[in-house]
A and B are shown apart, each in its own frame.
Chain A
C-alpha cells in the first residue's frame, strides 16, 4: 500500500511543482508587490488604484461586459451544441469550422474586428455601397460608448463562444441516449426533453464553462484595446497601463490582486449556485 501511495505522489509531483513555480509563486509575488510602497508595507497602492480617474469606469465596464457576454455566450453555445446533435453528416466539419476562432489570438481577433468596423472598414464600405448610410460613419469613438461596447461584445462573442461550445459538446456527448428515448416514449416533446433531461445532466459542464468563461472575461484586454484604445477601459487594461506606461508595478499588482479576488468570488458563486447533486452525477 505505502508503495502505491508513494507512486501517486511521485506522479503528482511534476504538476505540483509546475503549479508552485508558475502559479503559487507569481501569486505570492503579486501580493507582495501590491502591498509594498517603496519597500514599506502599506495599502497605498490600493488607495492609488481606487482614487485613479479610470478605476470606476474600468470596474463598471468589466462587470457590464461579463454580465452581457457570458449569458449570451452560454445561450449561443448551448443552441449550437443542440444543433450539432441533430446534424447527421459532416458533424465534425461543422464543429471544426465553429471552433476556428479558438486558434486566433485575441489581439488578432480585435484587429480583425477593428478592420471591419473602422471608418474606412469593410462594413462601412458595404453599407455605403448598398446606399444604407450616407458616407462612412464613425462608430468606434469615445463619443459613442454604446457602439464601442457593442463592438467589443460582438468581437468577444465571435472569438470566445467556441470554448464554451467545446465544453458543452463534450458534456452533451456524455448524456446517454436512452434517457431521451425513454422520455420520448412517454410522450415528452423536444423542449421538455431539453428542459428536464439535457439541461440537468449538463450541469457539471455548464458549471465548468461558466467558471472558465467568467474568469477569461475578467481578463479581457487585447480585444478591447485593439477596438477602443483607451476609450473603453477595463481592469486588465488599467493593470497593463500602470505597469507599462506609468512604470508602477505596485498599482498594477493591486489591479491584479483585485481581478484575482473577483475571479475567486465568481468561482465560488458558480460552485454553489450550480451545485451538482449526487443523484444527477453520472458515473
Chain B
C-alpha cells in the first residue's frame, strides 16, 4: 500500500518534470482559426513539421483566445508564444495593449511582398505594426461559362463594374428569358456581408459613417436595378454552389468556401472572378488572419522565427493546399493545386491586387450585437428592394437603429470608415 502510493508519487513527479520540460522547449501557438480537428492536425503534421522551432499548435474559440490573452497579461504570466487570430479578434488585444509591436520583424520580412492593404490593416489606423498577415479567405464571384458570351461589350471579367453586372444580367435575361444572377439572400445566406463589405464600400467608401449619405441612396437604387435581373429565388439561397450546379443561376456572389463545390465538381464549367467595382472602388471583404506576439512572451525570438517560417511563399502555398486558406504574400500559385482551389485562388489574387481594391473588414467591436448590425442591412434591403419602400425615407429611419447600436456598444470605426476616437460617428 505504502509503496504503491510512493510509486504513484514518483510517477506524478516524473510526469510533471516531463511536462515542464516540454513547455520549456516548445513555443505555444494559440489559434482561433483552423479549429476543426482535421485542419489542426494538418497544421501539426504537415505545416509545422519543418518549422525551425518546435511549436505546440493549440486552438480555441475566438472569445476564449481573447479572454485567455487578457487574463495572462493581467496575471503577468504569459505562456502563449504566438497568437493566430482574425484582424477583428486581435483588436481588443491591441486596445488592451497586450501585444508586442512587430515593426522590426516586418522590416526584416520586406522580401515577402505582403499585400500592402493587409500590412496597413495590421496597424489599426496608427503607425505601429501589431501583427504580421498570415492567411486569408474572402467572398468572390463565380460564373458558368455559358454566361460569358453575354458579357456586355468591352467588359473585363477581372475589372467588372456594378453597372456592367446589371447589364450582363439583363443581356442573359434578354437572350434566355430567365433571370440568372444570384445572391445568397436566404435565411442561411451571407448576404449581409455583401452589403457591409462590397456594396457600401464600393459606392460610399464607408459602411457606418456614410450609411444614409446621398451616395447610399444612389447605391440602393443601383442595386434595386441589379435585383430586377436577379433570380427571385435568391431570397432562399444559402450556399450559391447549389443553384450554380443546378443551373438555376449563372452568375453568383458568395464566400469562397460556399462556392468551392462548384469549382471542384465541374472545374471546366465554372470561372471565378473579383467582385465588381463602384464609384468609390472595388470594395471587398477579406477575412484576414494575422500572427501576433504577446507582450511578455516567454520566447519572442522563437515566435519571430515561426512567423518568418509561416510567411514563406512555399509554406503559404502548402497552407492553401492543406486547409484552403489563401496566401497573403504575392506568390505564383503552383499549377498542381486541386483545380477548385486554383480557380478561386486566381480570383482572390486578382481581387486583392486590383488597382482600385478597397478592403473592408468584418465589423469590429460590436461583440454579441453583431447579429443586430447584420439585421440592419438585411432589413434595409428587404424594405427598399423587396418591398419597394422609398429609399431616402427608409435610410433616414434605419439610421436611427444604427446610431443606437453604435452608441450603445461604443464601437469605433473599422476600415473602410476613417478611424475614430470613441464610437464611430454616423452622419
Which of A's residues lie within 8 Å of B, judged by CB? Answer: 52-54, 119-120, 135, 138, 140-143, 225, 228-231, 241, 245-248
Which B residues between 373 and 390 are near A, CB-CB below 8 angstroms?
A: 374-375, 379, 382-383, 386
Residues of B within 8 A of A52 (CB): 379
- Tell me if A241 and B187 are in contact (CB < 8 A): yes
Q: Do A120 and B235 contact each other (CB < 8 Å), given the known contacts A225-B187, A245-B375, A247-B371? A: no
**With the chains together, A230 CA to B186 CA distance in Å?**
7
Residue from the list B187, B235, B371, B374 in contact with A141, Cβ < 8 A: B235
Residue from the list B187, B236, B371 in contact with A248, Cβ < 8 A: B371
**With the chains together, A141 CA to B177 CA distance in Å?**
17
**Closest residue on chain B to residue A245 by CB atoms:** B371
Residues of A within 8 A of B379 (CB): 52-54
**Closest residue on chain B to residue A227 by CB atoms:** B236
- Tell me if B382 and A119 are in contact (CB < 8 A): no
| 18 A-B pairs (CB sep. < 8 Å) | A53-B379, A53-B382, A54-B379, A119-B248, A120-B246, A142-B235, A142-B386, A143-B232, A230-B235, A245-B187, A245-B371, A245-B374, A245-B375, A246-B371, A246-B374, A246-B375, A247-B369, A248-B372
**Closest residue on chain A to residue B408 by CB atoms:** A38
Residue from the list B187, B232, B368, B374 in contact with A138, Cβ < 8 A: B232
Residues of A within 8 A of B236 (CB): 140, 228-231
Residues of A within 8 A of B386 (CB): 142
**Closest residue on chain A to residue B248 by CB atoms:** A119
Residues of B within 8 A of A54 (CB): 379, 382
Given contacts A54-B382, A140-B233, A230-B236, 13 further A-B contacts (CB under 8 A): A53-B379, A119-B233, A135-B177, A138-B233, A142-B232, A143-B232, A228-B236, A230-B186, A230-B187, A247-B371, A247-B372, A248-B371, A248-B372
**With the chains together, A255 CA to B232 CA distance in Å?**
29
Residue from the list A53, A119, A246 in contact with B383, Cβ < 8 A: A53
**With the chains together, A225 CA to B248 CA distance in Å?**
20
Residues of B within 8 A of A228 (CB): 236
- Please classify the interface of chain B as helix (H, G, I), strand (E, B), loop, or mixed, using the class held by over half of its residues: helix
**Closest residue on chain A to residue B376 by CB atoms:** A246
Residues of B within 8 A of A225 (CB): 187
Q: How far is the CB of A123 from chain B (nearest CB, A)?
A: 16
Residues of A within 8 A of B383 (CB): 53
Q: How far is the CB of A20 from chain B (nearest CB, A)?
A: 31
- Tell me if A141 and B232 are in contact (CB < 8 A): yes
Q: How far is the CB of A60 from chain B (nearest CB, A)?
A: 14
**Closest residue on chain A to residue B394 by CB atoms:** A53
**With the chains together, A52 CA to B246 CA distance in Å?**
35
- Tell me if B187 and A229 are in contact (CB < 8 A): yes
Residues of A within 8 A of B382 (CB): 53-54
Write out, one digit per residue, whether chain B residues 353-376 have a CB within 8 A of any chain A CB (1) or not (0). 000000000000000110110110
Residues of B within 8 A of A141 (CB): 232-233, 235
**With the chains together, A244 CA to B270 CA distance in Å?**
34
Residues of A within 8 A of B375 (CB): 245-246
Residues of B within 8 A of A120 (CB): 246, 248
**With the chains together, A141 CA to B236 CA distance in Å?**
8
Residues of B within 8 A of A246 (CB): 371-372, 374-375
User: Can you list the 7 inter-chain pairs with the closest CB atoms, starting with the nearest?
Assistant: A229-B236, A141-B232, A246-B371, A247-B371, A229-B186, A143-B232, A142-B235
**With the chains together, A120 CA to B248 CA distance in Å?**
9
Which B residues between 325 and 355 are near A, CB-CB below 8 angstroms?
A: none
Residues of A within 8 A of B186 (CB): 229-230
Residues of A within 8 A of B235 (CB): 141-142, 229-231
Residues of A within 8 A of B233 (CB): 119, 138, 140-141
**With the chains together, A138 CA to B231 CA distance in Å?**
10
Residues of A within 8 A of B369 (CB): 247
**With the chains together, A241 CA to B378 CA distance in Å?**
12
Q: How far is the CB of B54 from chain A (nearest CB, A)?
A: 40
**With the chains together, A54 CA to B381 CA distance in Å?**
13
Residues of B within 8 A of A230 (CB): 186-187, 235-236
Q: How far is the CB of A228 from chain B (nearest CB, A)?
A: 7
Residues of B within 8 A of A140 (CB): 233, 236
Residues of A within 8 A of B177 (CB): 135
Most buried by B among A120, A229, A247, A248: A229
Q: How far is the CB of A72 from chain B (nearest CB, A)?
A: 26
**Closest residue on chain B to residue A251 by CB atoms:** B372
**Closest residue on chain A to residue B189 by CB atoms:** A229
**Closest residue on chain A to residue B246 by CB atoms:** A120
Residues of B within 8 A of A138 (CB): 232-233
**With the chains together, A52 CA to B380 CA distance in Å?**
11
Q: How far is the CB of B123 from chain A (nearest CB, A)?
A: 31
**With the chains together, A142 CA to B385 CA distance in Å?**
11
**Closest residue on chain A to residue B380 by CB atoms:** A53
**With the chains together, A143 CA to B368 CA distance in Å?**
34
**Closest residue on chain B to residue A237 by CB atoms:** B187
